Structure 1
Amino acid sequence: MTDFTHPMFGWQIDSDGIVVLTMNDPDNSANTANDRFNNEFPAVLDHLEATRDSISGVVLTSSKKTFFAGADLTSFITAGPADVPDVEAMLNHLKVNLRRLETLGRPVVAAINGAALGGGYEIALACHHRVIVNSPNAVVGLPESGLGVLAGAGGTVRTVRMFGIEKALNDILLPGTKFTPEAAAEAGLVDEVVDSADDLISAAKRWIATHTESVQPWDTTGYRIPGGYPADEHMAPVLTKLPALLRKRTHGAPAPAAEAILAAVVEGAAVDFDNAQAIESRYCAGLVGSQISSNIIKATFFDPRVIRRGQRRLANEPPFQAGKVLVVGSCPVAGGIALACARAGIDVAVASSNVADAETTIANVMRALTISAASSADAVVTTPKLTAWSIDDSPADVDVVIESLFADHPERQLVLTRILDRLDPDTLVLSNSSALPISALAASDSSPERFAGLHFFAPVDKLKLVEVIVGEKTSDKTVAKILDFARQLDRMSIVVGDSPGFFTTRILHAFLDEAMLLLTEGVPASSIERAATQAGYPTGPLALLDDLGFPVMARISAEITGVQSRDDVAATGSTVGSILRRMVSEFDRSGRASAGGFYNYEEGRRRDLWRGQDEVSAIDCRIDFADLKERMLFREALEAIHCYEDGVVRTVPEANVGSILGVGFPSWTGGALQFANQYDDGLDGFIRRCEALARAYGPRFEPTTSLRDRAAAQGVYE
């Protein structure tokens, strides 16, 4: 029966006195901790407490596709230092109400029908029992560290009291792990997994029927945190090593969220529950009011939404769905593309000049599909058809052709001409070139309007960004079809203009080039690598060059610098190409694949730095460490500004997302253009630092006229 109604919470009580509370925000597609929730949740609790004597238990669930989406990030991204007290008060208010729920005196069960991440899982933690449906979309966890904040609604406090300091930190809070239902059950984050959403409520009610008096473990007399308290003698070695492990995880890069999580966990474990909650709120509010948190939230949440909204489908054009794809090439990236298509349920043909190479690629794809078949999240709905072909015999009845050859312009065109004339005029023809101009490649196609670039990033199975390159004659219809195809492959897309290196390769080249300049100036290789990782790059430039391979990067470098038309070519001429050519010709070192590059390798594993680095430069140079970091950051950011001014990258969100997801620009900055926005004193401060770097190290750091004009007008990149 129903005897209570509220806009966001449905209320149903059965004959056994079990109340089913169904969250359903009428104004939004997902339930979030917005003003409506913060106002209405206390009213529901008031009613629960008023009718407690007639209630035997509570089931909390959702009518949305997700259980609860967590915090309203719109308020977080605009928060500054002055807002910290208000954020802290808001968090404490929410915690008071969650505490009312878990101390109601009646068993409370979370019936999790979809994703419960962040605040959604924190609500579930305040329940006494958690039941989840076995669906790939029903993931749980506390991923706030990836947004530059921490779980501020009791997440650190309750997970520590459930699992202990080490497990809470290493398995849940610091990595921000998202758990599938089975993984969550194995880890102890949920208590029961049911096969169908229809079984959730009945399973929750069964548990309530056998647990008439429920309290949280930490509210029972004699409870102790698993593994011990910070004051316990045996915990001293554990606490001593935690900062070192954190530094190993972050490589010394700016990581205020990780540092705050560690502090909140250890300090919170040393006090009672209520004080631990207050400590958590204080740390979380400080992060929310910080610039780095705003940067990360903008780049990981809001910028992708802006990009997706801007990629609207053409009017009167049906959605494009590929049924069969021809991948031309057999290099590792081509194999990754073939696997991505197969995982999307698309039939895949692989063509190579050597059929045996194509067969090997297909075998690798089939092996990968078999390995992932056991995972419901990776399993395809239908098994795709996989075939290997020679170039000349490759099928023409395909929806998409993706060329991914390790070859120069003439060779790529030669291969494409052997395929193009056999295709239907509506077939999408895409090149995975990372630097060659698409318009030049399209010149051999009698239907150049269907030709575009689709640049995948290696390793393809891990990097989910694709760069869509629009050639001179690429039609809007083609671009729209490519964006549909990218969505079919579950990829994030940015659309860029056609020029040598496009956007991501150009800014990557600038980063690597500055690292090579540092090397030639006599900066020790270890210092360059350490400066990059402490700046926040996921990989040092020398290790990255080893992974990419010297022949590939030398060729890309020549393609970028040999055709550029900017006025400052002389200032930005490539040092990468000359160094890599020397490494190959003089020292017979060409990267990881050949077991020798800037590092030494043993059975494919990176060992120590090659001791011959000194032969690249005999100069003994000492540069301020802060300059080492900022030379790489500023060089890449300035190249991104050039790309934006040249119209190569069309929007600021695409520049920021592309720089982070495509080539590893430090995420704490919010992206290559946001780095300039958020520098000390904004664009004015960024310009002053550019001028100082230019005086010390060369004109490549000079601010552009457009940048100066934007700063003078009090503008930002937005």
Structure 2
Amino acid sequence: MNTINFTTDADGIATLTIDVPGQSMNVIGPDFLADLDAAITRIASEDGIKGAVIASGKDSGFMAGMDLKYFGSMLSSGSGDRPAPADIFDKVFTLNQLFRRLETCGKPVACAIEGTCVGGGFELALACHRRFVGDSSKTQLGLPEILIGLFPGGGGSQRLPRIMGVQASLMYMLQGKMFRPADAAMMKVVDQVVPQGTALDAAREWVKANPSAHTQPWDIKGFKVPGGAGGFNPAFVQTMAGALPMTLKQTQRNMNAPIALLSAVYEGITLPMDRAIRIESKYFAKVAADPQASNMIRTLFVNKQAAERGARRPRDEAKAPTKKLAMLGAGMMGAGIATVAAQAGMEVVLFDRDQAYAEKGKAHVEAVLKKRLGRGMTPEKLEATLARVTPTTDYADLAGADFVIEAVFEDVGIKAEVTKKVEEVLGADTIFGSNTSTLPITKLANAWSKPENFIGVHFFSPVEKMPLVEIILGEKTGPAAIAKALDFVAQIKKTPIVVHDSRGFYTSRSFGTYVQEGAELVGEGVNPALIENAGKQLGMPTGPLAVSDEVSIELGVKIMTAAKKELGDAYVPQGSDDIMVRMTDAGRLGRKNGKGWYDYPEGAKKHLSPILAEMFPRAAEQPDVEAVKERLLYRQLIECARCFEEGVLETPEDGDIGAIFGWGFAPYTGGPFSHMDTVGITHVVATLDRLAAAHGPRFAPTQQLRDMAASGATFYKPASMKAAA
């Protein structure tokens, strides 16, 4: 066996130690399936084997899900076309059959879990007759498949509800929520939590003491699902009747997997397990056959992991972890960066012109850490982390810093002044990163004697929660700066993308079009409520007007004014410019002053302001919601395409990751470039031409898109997905 070490002790207890070669984490692939098949046959057929324990041979944890290279092969036929759901069913049902054979092998099988156990690995554990887990705060268990466009396809959708009840299991599966060991034991998802490192011994002892415990509860006559199930059970009917509309509302009907999961649970829960797993595989194959799943897996899992592992890092540069960070600016962004850096073990000098502001920045760090007490944070760890942050107004305190991040006021002159003073202390050989969100890095780098050591490091607010960091290369940024910035991002466990310099870079520039198009629509007399609902139905986190209020209408006007001043005659005015100026002239600056597109009455829920109807009279004829959705979507798509044509983006991978994790672009699409490939570049060009004719040149297709449509090219080359680990 290549992936399982099969041994038997003197008591007849077989131990199956999973150790998939060439993988940092155990994953399910064809070799593992063949080895597990052979192992189950031995357990069932050899009289000398009294039972079995399944464990991991890797320190990284027990097991993750399916090897995505193998999963990708399931979704491709010899001709390159996607196979029909019926063909995929035959492939995916193999796993279900194996796990079913395991739980009906006639011998007790226990699972010894140490570390991470998720996806297909957790479904393997659920098919065992007893589950022991080592107690560790880092251990996570669960079925997170919904987060990448799938749902549990190895029996999880049928076993978990039979263990913990339909309502509770759906809450976990529909959210991709993880269990910690104690919670899993409380909900009977695992049978016993034991001291870390002892799960294998505990599992062996149980198998030895329980030779006849080889039948799952759901295979015993008279079994009842906890909490009840079936069309005549009021609680079950109420759960399912409520789950469907709630799921449709939350997903805006855009996601395939949650609805398929509900169907699989509803149809399978009262059937015998042999029939129930066929129901599950039927719906799983239907979801897998749709491009949505492939797109989401590629961006949200495969490419995201590749980015975090340094896919864009210069390979010839030595590792350059940050030990002491000079954090310039103690406002919300600076304090947030200081927080994640200190949590990662770095010494942080938090600099501001005013000591009170610097102290306030450290207080922010403390407040964030206190919220984590009891969730992996202890008072001792909090004190040690906080001790690593030194607030100061003295440039001399920056001495010894090996990386600088600047997050001062968005003004070229102010930034240049601070940059030069820092260089006097640290020297130009130190790597300097600017957290600007819009100002060109090439211009800011003029204040640093060695522009090859100057780079953009764009964080998103709130830093502690937002996963993306946009690394921006100036015209002269060198490989050492790129490596240093990417190593820093890896230290703080964020996801990086690498882009080239441009006003607004990639994320701010492309995201801004969503807000601008919302304003354009208001100016045309479209009902603001229609605009907001269309944005949410499109799959965006919130409507364009609401997000404009959050980031500040006034800030948008300041950025636009600065761009006009900088570009002069080269500036291309947008219809939204005048709309935003009218709003700020009317004192409607956004949420920060309690009035923008929305009103924010004290103690009451925000609501779209009735004054909008006076400022922007409603058109007699309103567009339908699909037309508004189309404009909001394609305005973003064309800007992303322009960034690609101009070289701001080098890869579609960075474009898709940046869009979803940077500004919340509809996750079900896999990102703008995945979406354009899926609907077809020819369709994209035709739609943009139609929108440009109706609404102006901002929708005009790029020449690159036209060339791609003519040649049949796509942003992504057809290929199988890479391995999951």
What band does the TM-score fall into relative to the shorter chain?
A: over 0.9
Change (3 A) 1:184 1:238: closer
Match of residue 60, structure 1, among 47, 54, 59 = 54
**Distance in 2 between the 1:560 and 1:140 partners?**
49
Q: 1:387 is paired with a residue of what secondary structure?
A: strand
Q: CA 1:271–1:385 in 2, change beyond 3 Å: closer, same or farther?
A: same
Question: After superposition, where does 1:55-94 map in structure 2 within 5 Å?
Answer: 55-64=49-58, 65-77=60-72, 79=75, 81-94=82-95
Of 464, 482, 485 in structure 2, the residue corresponding to residue 482 of structure 1 is: 485
2:707 maps to which residue?
A: 709
SS at match of 2:375: coil
Greater shift in the superposed pair: 372-381 or 551-560 = 372-381
Is residue 406 from structure 1 mapped to residue 409 from structure 2 by the alignment?
Answer: yes
Report if the CA contact (8 A) 1:99-1:126 is conserved.
yes
CA contact (8 A) 1:542 1:598 kept: yes
Residue of structure 2 in register with 1:601 after alignment = 600
Distance in 1 separating the partners of 2:562 and 2:268: 55
Alignment RMSD (CA, Å): 2.3
Residue 320 of structure 1 pairs with residue 314 of structure 2: no
Change (3 A) 1:188 1:391: farther
Among residues 437, 440, 446, which one is paired with 1:434 in the alignment? Answer: 437
3-state SS of 2:83 partner: helix
Cα deviation digits, residues 408-438 of structure 1 (max 9, x gap): 2222223333333211333221111010011
Q: CA deviation at 1:305?
A: 4.6
- Is 1:154 matched up with 2:149? no
> CA 1:647–1:74 in structure 2 vs 1: closer, same or farther (change >3 Å)?
same
Distance 1:496 1:560, change over 3 A: farther
Q: Which amino acid aligns with 2:647?
A: G
> Matched residues in 1 for 2:377 and 2:315: separation?
31
In structure 1, how many angstroms separate the alpha carbons of the residues matched to 2:313 and 2:660?
23
In 2: Cα distance, 1:579 partner to 1:24 partner: 61
SS at match of 1:67: strand
Give 1:43's match in structure 2, choosing from 38, 49, 52.
38
Deviation at 1:502, TM superposition (A): 0.6
Q: Which amino acid aligns with 1:388?
A: P
**Are the equivalent residues in 2 in contact too, given 1:501–1:559 (CA < 8 A)?**
no
Task: Give the Å deviation of 1:602.
Answer: 5.0
What is the aligned counterpart of 1:501 among 504, 524, 529? Answer: 504
Is 1:390 matched with 2:393? yes
Q: Answer with 662-671 or 265-274: which moved more.
A: 265-274
- 1:577 CA displacement: 4.4
3-state SS of paired residue (1:537) = coil
Give the whole-Å Cα distance in 1 for the aligned partners of 2:264 and 2:463: 37
8 Å CA contact retained: 1:328, 1:391: no
| Shift in alpha-carbon separation, 1:611–1:114, aligned structure 2, 3 A | same
Is the Cα–Cα contact under 8 Å of residues 43 and 107 in structure 2 kept in the other structure?
A: no
Give the 5 Å matches for 1:203-282: 203-214=202-213, 215-235=215-235, 236-250=237-251, 252-282=252-282
After TM superposition, the structure 1 = structure 2 runs for residues 526-565 of structure 1, keeping only pairs within 5 Å, are: 526-560=529-563, 563=566
Whether contact under 8 Å (1:345, 1:382) holds in the other structure is no
Secondary structure, counterpart of 1:131 in structure 2: strand
Specify the alignment match of 2:79 in structure 1.
Answer: none
Maintained 8 Å contact 1:76/1:289: no
Residues 115, 388 of structure 1: alpha-carbon distance in 2 compared, 3 angstrom cutoff: same
The match for 2:617 is 618
2:348 pairs with 1:348: yes
Could you tell me how far apart the structure 2 residues matched to 1:205 and 1:536 are?
Answer: 49
Of the three residues 677, 681, 684, the one matched with 1:683 is 681
**Following TM superposition, by how much is the alpha carbon of 1:603 offset from its aligned partner in structure 2, in angstroms?**
5.7
- Distance, in Å, in 2 between the alignment partners of 1:603 and 1:175 is 32
Deviation at 1:138, TM superposition (A): 3.0
Native 8 Å contact 2:43 2:51 kept in 1: no
Return the offset for 1:581.
3.2
Answer with 532-541 or 592-601: which moved more.
592-601
Query: Is contact 1:76-1:294 (8 Å) kept?
Result: no
Q: Give the C-alpha shift of residue 576 in structure 1.
A: 4.6
- Which structure is higher in RCO with an 8 Å CA cutoff and minimum separation 6? 2
Q: Matches of 1:311 and 1:604 in 2, distance apart?
A: 48
Give distance in 1, aligned partners of 2:310 and 2:88: 29
Change (3 A) 1:576 1:405: farther
CA distance in 2, matches of 1:225, 1:516: 52
Structure 2: distance between partners of 1:451 and 1:468: 11
Determine the C-alpha separation between the residues in 1 that align with 2:227 and 2:208: 32
1:107 maps to a residue whose letter is P
Residues 461, 353 of structure 1: alpha-carbon distance in 2 compared, 3 angstrom cutoff: same
Q: Tell me what 1:465 maps to.
A: 468
AA at the equivalent of 1:100: R
Counterparts of 1:183 and 1:406 in 2: how far apart (Å)? 45
- Matched residue, 1:368: 368
Matched residue, 2:721: none
After TM superposition, list the pairs within 5 Å mapping 1:637-648 onto structure 2: 637-648=637-648
Q: Structure 1 stretch 37-46 or stretch 208-217: which is displaced more?
A: 208-217
Distance 2:631 2:565 in 1: 23
Task: Give me the whole-angstrom Cα distance separating, in 2, the residues matched to 1:564 and 1:511.
Answer: 22
> Counterparts of 1:381 and 1:116 in 2: how far apart (Å)?
32
CA contact (8 A) 1:150 1:261 kept: yes
Partner of 2:132: 131
Instruction: Note the residue ranges of structure 2 that are not aligned, 5 or more in a row.
Output: 77-81, 717-725
Question: 2:30 touches 2:70 (CA, 8 Å); kept in 1?
Answer: no
Q: Following superposition of structure 1 onto structure 2, how do residues 511-530 of structure 1 map, counting pairs within 5 Å?
A: 511-530=514-533
Aligned to 1:167: 168
Deviation at 1:687, TM superposition (A): 1.2
CA-to-partner distance for each residue in 1:129-148, whole Å, 9 max, x for gaps?
Answer: 22222345532111111111
Deviation at 1:658, TM superposition (A): 0.8
Deviates more, 1:647-656 or 1:263-272: 263-272
Distance in 1 between residues matched to 2:268 and 2:622, nearest whole Å: 43
Give the aligned length.
702
What SS does structure 2 have at the residue aligned with 1:320? coil
Check whether the contact 1:431–1:455 (CA below 8 A) recurs between aligned residues: yes
The residue number in structure 2 matching 1:665 is 665
Q: Deviations over 1:690-711 (max 9, x none)?
A: 1222222222212111111111
Q: CA deviation at 1:498?
A: 1.0
How far apart, in 2, do the equivalents of 1:605 and 1:221 lie? 55
Pair 1:243–1:348, CA change in 2 (3 A): same
Counterpart Cα distance in 1 of 2:141 and 2:559: 42
* Corresponding letter in the other structure for 1:133: G
Cα displacement (A) at 1:72: 2.5
CA change 1:576–1:114 in 2 (3 A) is farther
Distance 1:575 1:394 in 2: 48
Deviation at 1:526, TM superposition (A): 1.4
In 2 relative to 1, CA 49–489 (structure 1 residues): closer, same or farther, beyond 3 Å?
same
Q: Kindly, what percent of the aligned residue pairs are identical?
A: 34
Once the two structures are superposed, residues 195-217 of structure 1 have per-residue CA deviations (whole angstroms, 9 ceiling, x without a partner) of 333x1211212333443322222
Task: Output the CA distance in 1 between the equivalents of 2:683 and 2:199.
Answer: 55
* C-alpha contact (below 8 Å) 1:436/1:559 kept by paired residues: no
8 Å CA contact 1:344, 1:380 repeated in 2? no
SS of the residue 1:421 aligns to: helix
Q: Relative to 1, partners in 2 of residues 1:645 and 1:211: Cα closer, same or farther, differing over 3 Å? A: same
Q: CA deviation at 1:468?
A: 0.8
What corresponds to 1:3 in structure 2? Answer: none
Residue 393 of structure 1: CA displacement? 5.7
Mapped to 1, the partners of 2:405 and 2:52 lie a distance apart of 54
1:306 Cα deviation from its structure 2 partner: 4.8
C-alpha distance in 1 between matches for 2:394 and 2:600: 35
